[in-house]
């Protein structure tokens, strides 16, 4: 069927391009390191020179087509490729200094033992190749990436291996995460919800921000293709699909909507100036249109150009007749509700900011919490939290925020959209002791090691950045770009 051919041709444009993975091992700004230099040297890393020939050989291994490069952008592709290659080089230099190597056999073992590529508990070449295609890798680029990451891991293990942390660090971590915190808190939303947003506030906000409320409205018509319309039958039989193919051919051949539906004009439906939310300019919502169908209609780019649409087992021909961008009015209930929500968030942010400022300036204390409770007739809640993993009342992000504060501290905490807002005071803290002979102590030793190693990694990145001088020859890179 032509439909399947058409789908295949569209999939070409959606192809995943080759990704150049720039390792986060070395982080430098490429903007100000481009300098002129020797004609055949594209980059110098300390005293080691990388020739343009060597870099071109690296690019050839990536095996990217001209079409793929055009899609990515030649400049971006080459800059990313060079950045990635410099990272690999530095990893290689550092590994060589420490006598760390990864043979081809070792790399092969890593790949064949990766369970992502297993089928029936054995390495599957087919799964591996499908993975490469799906992620946009070539075999050489992915294997180079794995090699670099493994060398980096071994390098960092070289610096962090054998760490034996003192007991007090492990004890401190356990106490920090397992102390019992008794808190009191007010749900600020119980106060904020009493704020009535007036029509004047809504009108004022709308007037000041009219330009933000512009939306695309279209007029379109369509016909749903059923067996009754195409074959005068009720069955989705072979004749029906032949007719579908013929209609799709007609569209691809450039026939207009009227000539395609000549014998079925009574089945054509039309909607005038409606937005993607299925709302007309009058504010009336169209309930008959399905969400996925209207979304497909809004994907049509050209006016007066019929499109063939398939949605599961439904088939349509649709055409956009007219379009315009219109500033929504407050007749649109969705717009009114959106403005209300925006004003509500702004109110919460403003009130939270006032509270935080008073707390930071030492002008808000325990007695003020009581006064706030009385003034707004809201409850001061009491809660005991039995460790950083105790999220029976608050989610993990809120619990972590609470554990960043100490006894008698007062603070405000909110989620990202200010849907939840709390005023909190740490009333009391009770420390727990860990049994050094328990399995839990071993877990906390491992956890403390992970945190300590993470700090080493950060310091090592700084060490690399301060000990490697990178000079990229702008002239050579430009000539390379022009040669593609």
Q: What distance in Å separates the CA atoms of residue 294 and residue 276, rounded to the nearest whole number?
A: 6
**Over residues 81-110, mean pLDDT:** 81
- CATH number where 33 lies: 1.10.4030
Question: In sequence order, what are the residues at sequence separation of 6 or more whose Cβ sits closer than 8 angstroms to the Cβ of residue 279?
Answer: 285, 286, 332, 334
Note whether 263 and 410 are same-domain residues.
no
- Residue 454 is assigned to a structural domain of this protein: no
Question: In sequence order, what are the residues at sequence separation of 6 or more whose Cβ sits closer than 8 angstroms to the Cβ of residue 130?
Answer: none
Note whether 21 and 155 are same-domain residues.
yes
Q: What is the pLDDT of residue 481?
A: 75
Q: What is the pLDDT of residue 41?
A: 86
Long-range contacts of 289-296 (CB under 8 A, 24+ apart): none
Backbone angles phi, psi at 56, to 5 degrees: -65, -40
pLDDT bucket at 14, cuts 50 / 70 / 90:
very low
Domain span at residue 137? 17-161+465-483
- Residue 83 is assigned to a structural domain of this protein: yes
User: How many separate domains does the chain show?
Assistant: 3
Note whether 155 and 50 are same-domain residues.
yes
Token representation of residue 111: 């790949």
Q: Is the pLDDT of residue 385 over 90?
A: yes
SS3 content of the chain, % helix, strand, coil (to 5): 50, 20, 30
Q: What distance in Å separates the CA atoms of residue 60 and residue 55, rounded to the nearest whole number?
A: 9
Q: What is the pLDDT of residue 177?
A: 84
Token representation of residue 481: 């770009």
C-alpha dihedral, 451 to 453 to 457 to 458, nearest 10°: 40
pLDDT bucket at 30, cuts 50 / 70 / 90:
very low
DSSP string, 355-399: HHHHHHTT---HHHHHHHHHHHT---EEEEEESTT--SSS-HHHH
- Is the Cβ–Cβ distance between 248 and 6 less than 8 Å? yes
Note whether 148 and 34 are same-domain residues.
yes
Q: What distance in Å separates the CA atoms of residue 24 and residue 27, rounded to the nearest whole number?
A: 6
pLDDT bucket at 304, cuts 50 / 70 / 90:
very high
Longest pairwise C-alpha distance within the chain: 87
Other CB atoms closer than 10 Å to residue 176's CB: what's the count? Answer: 13
Work out whether the CA dihedral 224, 225, 226, 228 comes out positive or negative. positive
Q: What distance in Å separates the CA atoms of residue 202 and residue 415, rounded to the nearest whole number?
A: 25
Least confident of 94-98, 421-425, 458-462: 458-462
Least confident of 133-142, 359-368, 379-388: 133-142
Average pLDDT, the chain: 82
Note whether 185 and 233 are same-domain residues.
no
C-alpha dihedral, 363 to 367 to 373 to 375, nearest 10°: -70
- Residue 3 is assigned to a structural domain of this protein: no
Least confident of 83-92, 344-353, 421-430, 455-464: 455-464
Note whether 34 and 152 are same-domain residues.
yes
Q: What distance in Å separates the CA atoms of residue 387 and residue 450, rounded to the nearest whole number?
A: 20
Q: Pick from 275, 303, 329: which residue ends a domain?
A: 329
Q: What is the pLDDT of residue 63?
A: 64
C-alpha dihedral, 369 to 371 to 376 to 377, nearest 10°: 90
Note whether 216 and 289 are same-domain residues.
yes
Token representation of residue 27: 């982080």
Work out whether the CA dihedral 184, 189, 194, 200 comes out positive or negative. positive
Share of the chain above pLDDT 70, in %: 87
Three-state DSSP class for residue 183: strand
- Residue 361 is assigned to a structural domain of this protein: yes
**Over residues 219-224, mean pLDDT:** 96
Q: Pick from 279, 295, 329: which residue ends a domain?
A: 329
Note whether 123 and 49 are same-domain residues.
yes
Question: In sequence order, what are the residues at sequence separation of 6 or more whose Cβ sits closer than 8 angstroms to the Cβ of residue 444?
Answer: 170, 173, 174, 434
Give kind and range of the element (H or E) at residue 216: strand 214-224
Among 45-49, 242-246, 433-437, name the most confident range.
Answer: 242-246
- Residue 57 is assigned to a structural domain of this protein: yes
Note whether 325 and 347 are same-domain residues.
no
Q: What is the pLDDT of residue 33?
A: 37
Note whether 225 and 78 are same-domain residues.
no
Residue with structure tokens 């610096």? Answer: 159
Backbone angles phi, psi at 469, to 5 degrees: -95, 125
Residue length, the chain?
484
- Residue 323 is assigned to a structural domain of this protein: yes
**Over residues 308-320, mean pLDDT:** 91
Q: Is the pLDDT of residue 430 over 60?
A: yes
- What's the per-residue H, E or C state across 413-442? EECCCCCCEEEEEEEEEECCCCCCCCHHHH
| H helices present in 164-282, as ranges | 167-178, 189-192, 199-208, 227-230, 238-252, 257-260
Note whether 28 and 151 are same-domain residues.
yes
Token representation of residue 73: 């952008």
- Residue 1 is assigned to a structural domain of this protein: no
- Residue 443 is assigned to a structural domain of this protein: no
Give kind and range of the element (H or E) at residue 187: strand 180-187
Alpha carbon 463 to chain centroid, angstroms: 30
Note whether 282 and 350 are same-domain residues.
no
Give kind and range of the element (H or E) at residue 125: helix 125-135
Q: Is the pLDDT of residue 431 over 50?
A: yes
**Structure pTM?**
0.49
pLDDT bucket at 456, cuts 50 / 70 / 90:
low
Beta strands in 30-114 (DSSP E): 34-35, 41-45, 48-51
pLDDT bucket at 366, cuts 50 / 70 / 90:
very high
pLDDT bucket at 160, cuts 50 / 70 / 90:
low
**Over residues 215-236, mean pLDDT:** 92
């Amino acid at each position: 069927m032509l439909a399947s051919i058409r789908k295949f041709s569209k999939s070409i444009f959606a192809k995943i391009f080759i990704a150049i993975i720039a390792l986060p091992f070395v982080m430098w700004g490429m903007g100000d390191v481009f300098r002129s230099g020797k004609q055949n040297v594209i980059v110098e890393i300390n005293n080691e020179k990388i020739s343009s020939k060597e870099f071109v050989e690296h690019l050839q291994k990536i095996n990217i087509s001209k079409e793929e490069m055009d899609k990515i952008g030649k400049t971006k592709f080459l800059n990313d490729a060079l950045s990635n290659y410099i990272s690999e080089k530095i990893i290689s230099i550092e590994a060589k200094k420490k006598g760390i190597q990864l043979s081809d056999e070792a790399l092969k073992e890593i790949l064949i033992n990766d369970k992502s590529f297993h089928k029936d508990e054995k390495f599957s070449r087919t799964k591996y190749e499908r993975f490469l295609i799906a992620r946009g890798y070539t075999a050489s680029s992915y294997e180079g990436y794995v090699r670099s990451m493994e060398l980096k891991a071994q390098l960092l293990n070289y610096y962090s291996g054998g760490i034996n942390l003192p007991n007090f660090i492990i004890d401190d971590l356990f106490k920090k995460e397992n102390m019992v915190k008794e808190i009191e808190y007010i749900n600020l939303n119980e106060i904020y919800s009493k704020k009535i947003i007036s029509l004047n506030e809504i009108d004022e906000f709308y007037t000041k921000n009219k330009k933000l409320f512009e939306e695309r409205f279209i007029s379109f018509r369509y016909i749903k293709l059923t067996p009754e319309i195409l074959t005068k039958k009720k069955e989705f039989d072979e004749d029906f699909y032949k007719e579908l193919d013929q209609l799709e051919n007609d569209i691809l051949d450039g026939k207009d909507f009227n000539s395609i539906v000549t014998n079925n004009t009574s089945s054509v439906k039309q909607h005038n100036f409606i937005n993607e939310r299925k709302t007309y300019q009058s504010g009336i919502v169209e309930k008959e249109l399905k969400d996925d169908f209207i979304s497909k209609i809004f994907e049509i780019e050209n006016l007066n150009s019929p499109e063939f649409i398939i949605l599961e087992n439904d088939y349509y021909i649709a055409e956009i007749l007219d379009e315009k961008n219109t500033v929504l009015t407050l007749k649109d209930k969705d717009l009114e509700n959106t403005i209300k929500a925006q004003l509500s968030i702004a109110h919460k942010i403003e009130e939270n900011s006032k509270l935080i400022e008073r707390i930071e300036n030492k002008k808000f204390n325990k007695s003020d919490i009581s006064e706030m409770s009385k003034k707004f007739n809201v409850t001061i809640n009491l809660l005991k939290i039995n460790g950083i993993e105790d999220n029976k009342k608050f989610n993990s992000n809120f619990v972590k925020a609470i554990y960043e504060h100490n006894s008698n501290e007062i603070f405000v905490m909110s989620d990202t959209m200010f849907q939840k807002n709390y005023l909190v005071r740490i009333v009391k803290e009770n420390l727990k002791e860990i049994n050094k002979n328990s399995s839990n102590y071993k877990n906390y030793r491992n956890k403390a090691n992970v945190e300590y190693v993470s700090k080493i990694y950060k310091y090592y990145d700084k060490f690399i950045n301060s000990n490697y001088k990178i000079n990229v020859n702008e002239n050579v890179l430009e000539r390379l770009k022009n040669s593609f």
